[in-house]
Amino acid sequence: MSDCQLYLISPPDVGGAFPGRLERALATMGADNPVAAFQLRIKDVDQHEAARLAAPLQEICAAHDVAFIVNDSVALAKRIGADGVHLGQGDGDPRDARTQLGSKAQIGVTCHSSRHLAMEAGEAGADYVAFGAFFPSTTKPSEHRPDPELLTWWSRLFEIPCVAIGGITPENCVPLVEAGADFLAVSGAVWSGEEEAAIRAFAERL
């Protein structure tokens, strides 16, 4: 059994029936559920609407002891009291996020395929770094294609956890787990089909 866990990323539409889907995804397998964190990633809505959409999802995550992370927006994370924020390379400095969100916030940084960016993020106080996309992704296209060896290099040298992201499915995830990923960030593989079956399929590989 590896220590690798799942880091769920939301689909673009988190209204309507989605809270029920999230509840099913987190409830399946009970205490053996492999999901450790959930990231709210929504675009083109104002902060008031984003906070409204976040509220039921945040409650569900709290009930299942799953970290609730906001993508891109330190302001939204602070407003709703999220567990943390995930920053892209253009979304601000981890140091500033730490100042605003406090010492307990989980701050993650996208580092694409760059060792340099990852070391910079670590020095700036990031709690985890994310590498990818390892496979083609319909959720968020990326021209970066790191080799799984990057995960091995990072995990041998640094204590900070690393997240593998990009087109990850139950069928292709094992090499990333074996390479040293602490978390697999997944979205389409779970939400494009039957979420409970997808979570179970990932759990079997982990």
Phi and psi angles of residue 3, each rounded to the nearest 5 degrees, phi first: -90, 5
The encoded tokens of residue 50 equal 């984003």
Domain spans in the chain, listed from the N-terminal domain onward: 5-205
**Whose CA is closest to 118, among 83, 84, 144?**
144
64 class by beta-carbon count within 10 Å (0-12 exposed, 13-18 middle, 19+ buried): middle
Residue 127 has pLDDT above 50, yes or no: yes
Q: What is the pLDDT of residue 139?
A: 67
Q: What is the mean pLDDT of residues 88-95?
A: 94
**Confidence class of residue 2 from pLDDT cuts 50, 70 and 90?**
low
In angstroms, the Cα distances linking 146 to 135, 166, 169 are 9, 10, 17
CATH number of the domain at 5-205, please?
Answer: 3.20.20.70
Whether the CB-CB separation of 179 and 8 falls below 8 Å is answered with no
Structure-block tokens of residue 135: 């496979």
Summarised one tens digit per residue, pLDDT across range 18-72 is 999 999 999 999 999 999 999 999 999 999 999 999 999 999 999 999 999 999 9
Average of per-residue pLDDT values in the chain:
96
Average of per-residue pLDDT across 112-132:
97
C-alpha 144 chain-centroid distance: 17
**CB-based contacts of 73, cutoff 8 Å, min separation 6:** 47, 50, 85, 91
Helix, strand, or coil (residue 165) = strand
Task: With a cut of 90, say whether residue 142 has pLDDT above it.
Answer: no
Separation CA 2–CA 22 (nearest Å): 24
Q: What is the pTM of this model?
A: 0.96
